Amino acid sequence: MDTTQYLEVFIDESKENLQVVNDKLLELEKEPADLSIVNEIFRSAHTLKGMSATMGYEDLADLTHKLENVLDAVRNEQINVSAEMLDVLLESVEYLEEMIMDIAGGGEGSKDVSSIVHNLQLIEAGESLSTGTESKPESGSTKNGSTLSFDQFEQTVLKQAKADQQHIFHIKISLQDDCLLKAARVYMVFEVLGQDGEVIKSLPTVEELEDENFDESFEVVYITKESPEEIEAKVKKVSEINEVSVSLFDLDASNEPDEKSIDDSKVQSKQKKKSTQSKDETNEPQKKQAVSNKTIRVNIERLDVLMNLFEELVIDRGRLEQISQELDHNDLKGTVEHMSRISGDLQNIILTMRMVPIDQVFNRFPRMVRQLARDLGKDIELEIEGAETELDRTVIDEIGDPLVHLIRNAIDHGIEMPEERKKNGKSETGNLLLKAYHSGNHVFVEIKDNGQGINREKVLEKAISNGVVTDEQADGMSQNQVNELIMASGFSTADQISDISGRGVGLDVVKNTIESLGGSISIDSEYGVGTTFSIQLPLTLSIISVMLVVVEEEIYAVPLSSIIETAVIKKEEVMKAHNKEVIDFRGSIVPLVHLSEVFEVNTLDDDSQHYSVVIVRKGDKMAGLVVDSFIGQQEIVLKGLGNYLNDIFAISGATILGNGQVALIIDSNALIK
């Protein structure tokens, strides 16, 4: 089967399933007794196994299979959930992740998994003995033994059958030596048995039987009202059957939970029908199905194309509106107005289609925090709030790395060792809060720890020794200014450079990344109490608010995020400093930048007595951009200038105006030195 066309879907869904496994494992750690969690993990792992086997990634399927076996043992209460076990399970999730990444990168997804498989098997085999059953270790191909054991669910079914006055038979069937289509015979036997009763369990499992993975004989446990003789006669009617022995099955004798529950959907579904006792297991797969049916994966590029086409439509709409105004025809006007409304709604929908919950970024953190905490010997609890907050895909893609860095930073530098916390009268468990929320046109992400906070003296000492500030400057600095220092380049507050952070990638990189996204970051810290990093991000990078300005004949867009205000200033108020034009803007001296000069616009003679100025800022620096006139504020769709023109001075992109013309977007940061 050619599976390449499914590869993308496979990768996406595998990631999703792995994420579920990962999340639930962490949940399980908190509530080791909750077996419904194990069931959920099992389901996702099972799906993953099935998919990878179908796609032909054997190593992936194999490791997942071993993982499943352990989960199975847990859910049958043969082994208990322990920290060591979770370590190994999480490690195998990591392995699986690497394999999937490899596949995504065009690889085969093969990896040496022997050590982790060994560990998994140890857990599975070693721990299962503690329950005192004589259950034998499960391996890929079960040889025909006579031990049949049942998990709790099966036992319930059997007990119920007994209560219903049904017979439970243990049937051994052997096929003729020369039987050609063993699987077919088995199928026929099951067919016959299925007519008057239920096959509860088979040895080997139905899957193995279907694969002809057995010798000549197999056994089933069967519930029926028929007599043994009748059954024997019926089964014997199937050709190529050598021998059938039917014996009454002693339920109590093999009342041990089975080490391996069956992945056999046929038998399970029959049980479900039969059983009045409904486990959540029976309902949830359907529920999950319903949810997954409601979404569809769309390539982001297609959405971009849709957006482009839509903009064309908007431009035409503008023209139509103009025409209908001129013609002043009632029907036409009505229709155009209706169309405008609908296209407005359409625009909203297209934009929201690109929104994804920030959970996609957050969900990788619990495991990371757990691992880091264990590595460092710290006790840390991670809380996540507002994971459902939605952001444009373009922002989501960029925000992950800065967050990873901030969280590592908080765990490594922020939260103290348990003893130290105790000594300082804090709870031994440190708390890390990751929180996202909407506010206005922005999304805020906060990383808050209740660690040691920023040590003003230490930071200043370091800043002075690094030459970032001078002694004199240091004395007059406010706490906020000191906090800002840790985001200066080449700064690390840790006494020692540890493995976790301080590897040369400083918070300055985080700051730059966030600012390049049009966001900002601020730090709030109290020494001994904790630190909060607060990141403000635009909802989307593809749509921004701008002020459209005119420079001679040309229209430019200035992002609203960098504008403080606009002003009209009399030419006589302009002063000169260092031969540069400056103005006094609310007490600050602000240099003027003539856009017509910067952009080499052919200037016409200007006899106006006023300058129209857009005051922009970069950090705490300001500049006044001199333009000819303002058009007004507008939401625009941000577009690149194409791969051909990169690094055009002071231009960060372009947009298409209502009349179809292209307007350039000014990067005011480049204009402020």
Partner 1 sequence: MSVEVVNDVKVIVFRLKDEEYGVPVEYVGSIERMQDITRVPRAPKFVKGVINLRGVVTPIIDLRERFGIEESTYSESTRIIIVSIDDKDVGMIVDGANDVVDVAESDIEPPPEVVGSVNVDYIRGVAKINQRLLILLNLDKVLSNDEISDLSTVEKS
Residues forming the site for partner 1 (CB under 8 A): 307-309, 311-312, 554, 598-601, 639-645, 648-651, 654, 656, 660-664
At closest approach, how far in Å is the CB of 315 from partner 1?
A: 8
Nearer to partner 1, 269 or 308 (CB): 308
- Nearer CB in complex with partner 1: 132/642: 642
Q: Measured from the CB of residue 322, what is the shortest distance to partner 1 in angstroms?
A: 17
For residue 598, give the nearest of 558, 559, 570 by alpha carbon: 558
Contact 437, 389 (CB under 8 A): yes
Instruction: State which residue, 36 or 661, has the beta carbon closest to partner 1.
Output: 661
- The Cα 570–Cα 574 span in angstroms is 7
CA dihedral 617, 623, 627, 632 (to 10 degrees): 20
CB of 267 to partner 1, least distance (A): 55
Pair 627, 614: CB distance under 8 Å: yes
Q: How many CB atoms lie within 10 A of CB 508?
A: 14
Separation in Å, CA 423 to CA 427, 428, 429, 452, 496:
9, 9, 13, 12, 22
State the minimum distance, in angstroms, from the CB of residue 649 to partner 1: 5
C-alpha–C-alpha distance, residues 516 and 667, integer Å: 11
Active site residues: 46, 68, 409
Nearest to 537 by CA among 410, 390, 665, 652: 390
Nearer Cβ to partner 1 (293/644)? 644
Compute the least distance from the CB of residue 619 to partner 1, in Å.
24
Give which of 339, 301, 304, 302 is closest to 321, Cα–Cα.
339
Return phi, psi of residue 603, to 5°.
-90, 140
**Residues β-bridged to residue 388:** none
Min dist CB 519 to partner 1, Å, is: 24
Cβ distance 159 to 146 under 8 Å? Answer: no
Q: Are 445 and 403 in contact (CB under 8 A)?
A: yes
Structure tokens at 27: 């949940």
* Torsion angle of C-alpha atoms 83, 87, 93, 96, degrees rounded to 10: -150
Contact indicator for 623, 581 with CB cutoff of 8 Å: no
Nearer to partner 1, 444 or 599 (CB): 599
- C-beta of 73 vs 557, nearer to partner 1: 557
- Among candidates 228, 241, 123, 89, which has minimal Cα distance to 166? 228
| Residue reference for tokens 């002071």 | 650
Query: Which residue number, 177 or 644, has a Cβ lying nearer to partner 1?
Result: 644
Q: Tell me how far, at minimum, the Cβ of 641 lies from partner 1, in Å.
A: 6
